[in-house]
Structure 1
Amino acid sequence: MIASTPRVTATHPSLPAVFLLGICALLNLYSPQPILPALAHWGGVTVGSAGLTISATTLGVALTAPLAGSLSDRLGRKRLIVWAITLMVACTLCCVLSTSFHQLLLWRFLQGLTIPFVFAVTLAYISEESSAGSRALVNSVYVAGTAFGGFLGRFVAGTTLEVVANWRYTFVALAVVELVVLCGTLFLLKKEANFTPSRSLLAGISGAWRHLGDMRLLLSFGVGFLLLFQQVGSFTYASIALLHAPYNLPPPAVGAVFLVFLLPVITTPLAGRINAARGPLFTYLLFSTAGAAGLAITLFGNVWCVLVGMALSCISIFAGQSASTGFISSHCQHDRSSAIGLYLSGYYLGGAAGAIVPARLYAHFGWPGCVVLLVALAAVSCVFACIAWRK
Structure 2
Amino acid sequence: MPRAADKQSVPSEIPSHPHLTVIENTARQPLENAPQELAAQEKQFLLRGTPAYRRASIALFLSGFATFSLLYCVQPLMPIFSTDFGISPAASSLSLSLSTGLLAFAIFCAAAVSENFRRRSLMFASLLGAALCTIACALVSSWNALLVIRALEGLLLGGVPAVAMAYLSEEIDPRGLGASMGLYIAGNAFGGMAGRVVTGTLAEFFSWRIALGTLGAIGLAAAIGFFLLLPASRNFTPRKGFNARFHLGAWAGHIRSPVLPFLFAIGFLAMGTFVTVYNYIGFRLVEAPYDLNQTELGLIFTVYIFGIAASWIAGLLGDRFGHFVVLPSGIALSAIGVALTFSASLPLIILGIVLLTSGFFVAHSVASALVGRLARGTKGHASSLYLLSYYIGSSVAGSLGGYFWGADGWNAVVVFTLTLLAIGMVAALAAARLSRR
CA distance in 2, matches of 1:209, 1:52: 33
Change (3 A) 1:53 1:176: same
Please point out which of 282, 300, 304 is paired with 2:343.
Answer: 300
Q: 1:200 to 1:279 in 2, by over 3 A?
A: farther
Cα pair distance change 1:37/1:89, threshold 3 Å: same
Which range moved further: 54-63 or 191-200? 191-200
- d(CA) in 2 for partners of 1:293 and 1:171? 36
Largest Rg, 1 or 2: 2
Aligned to 1:315: 358
TM-score of the superposed pair, with normalisation by structure 1? 0.95
CA contact (8 A) 2:170 2:379 kept: no
Read off the aligned partner of 2:182 and give its amino acid letter.
Answer: S
Q: 2:191 aligns with which of 119, 124, 149?
A: 149
Quote the Cα distance in structure 2 between the aligned partners of 1:3 and 1:86: 34
Q: What residue in structure 2 maps to residue 9 of structure 1?
A: 48
Quote the sequence identity (%).
27
Give the match for residue 23 of structure 2. Answer: none
Query: Is the CA contact 2:267–2:389 (under 8 Å) kept in the aligned structure 1?
Result: yes
Aligned length: 390
Contact 1:280–1:389 (CA<8 Å) still a contact in 2?
Answer: no
Alignment-derived partner of residue 78 in structure 1:
120
- Which of 262, 273, 276 is residue 233 of structure 1 equivalent to? 276
**Could you say which residue in structure 1 is the equivalent of 2:19?**
none
* Aligned counterparts of 1:356 and 1:142: Cα–Cα separation in 2: 27
Letter in 2 for 1:24: A
**Residue number in structure 2 paired with 1:33:** 75
1:273 is the counterpart of 2:316? yes
Offset, 1:204: 3.8
Pairing 1:171–2:212 present: yes
Question: Secondary structure of the equivalent of 2:175?
Answer: coil
Letter in 1 for 2:289: P
Of Structure 1 and Structure 2, the greater helix share is in 1
Q: Residues 197 and 3 from structure 1, CA distance in 2 versus in 1: closer, same or farther, beyond 3 angstroms?
A: farther
In structure 1, what is the equivalent of residue 18 of structure 2?
A: none
How far the C-alpha of 1:248 sits from its partner, in A, is 1.6
Does the CA-based 8 Å contact 1:31-1:154 persist in structure 2?
A: yes
**1:159 and 2:198 aligned:** no
Q: Indicate the SS of the match to 2:115.
A: helix
Whether 1:190 and 2:231 are equivalent positions in the alignment is yes
Supply the distance in 2 between the matched residues of 1:319 and 1:233 (Cα, whole angstroms): 18
Measured in 2, the distance between the counterparts of 1:131 and 1:339 equals 18
Residue in 1 aligned with 2:393? Answer: 350
Structure 1 residue 38: deviation in Å?
Answer: 0.8
User: What's the CA shift for 1:198?
Assistant: 4.0
Pick one of 368, 379, 384 that aligns with 1:341.
384
Aligned equivalent of 1:66: 108
In 2, the alpha carbon distance for the partners of 1:299 and 1:257 equals 17
Which stretch has the larger CA shift, 370-379 or 347-356?
347-356
The structure, 1 or 2, with the larger RCO (C-alpha pairs under 8 Å, 6+ apart) is 1
Q: 1:191-210, CA deviations, whole angstroms, 9 ceiling, x for partnerless residues?
A: 11111334543234542343
Give the TM-score normalised by structure 2.
0.85
CA–CA distance in structure 1, aligned partners of residues 42 and 136 of structure 2? 41
Q: Which residue matches 2:242?
A: 201
Bigger shift: residues 308-317 or 361-370: 361-370
- Paired amino acid for 1:189: L
Aligned-residue offset at 1:25:
2.5
- Counterpart CA distance in 1 for 2:209 and 2:90 is 19
Query: Is the contact made by 2:63 and 2:127 (CA closer than 8 Å) also made in structure 1?
Result: no
Mapped pair 1:380 → 2:423: yes
CA contact (8 A) 2:334 2:355 kept: yes
Moved more, 218-227 or 9-18: 9-18
The Cα offsets for residues 26-66 of structure 1, whole Å up to 9 and x where unpaired, read as 11222212111111112221122211111101111111112
1:366 aligned residue (404, 409, 431): 409
Preserved contact between residue 69 and residue 338 of structure 1 (Cα < 8 Å): yes
Letter in 1 for 2:322: G
Residue 243 of structure 1 is matched in structure 2 by 286
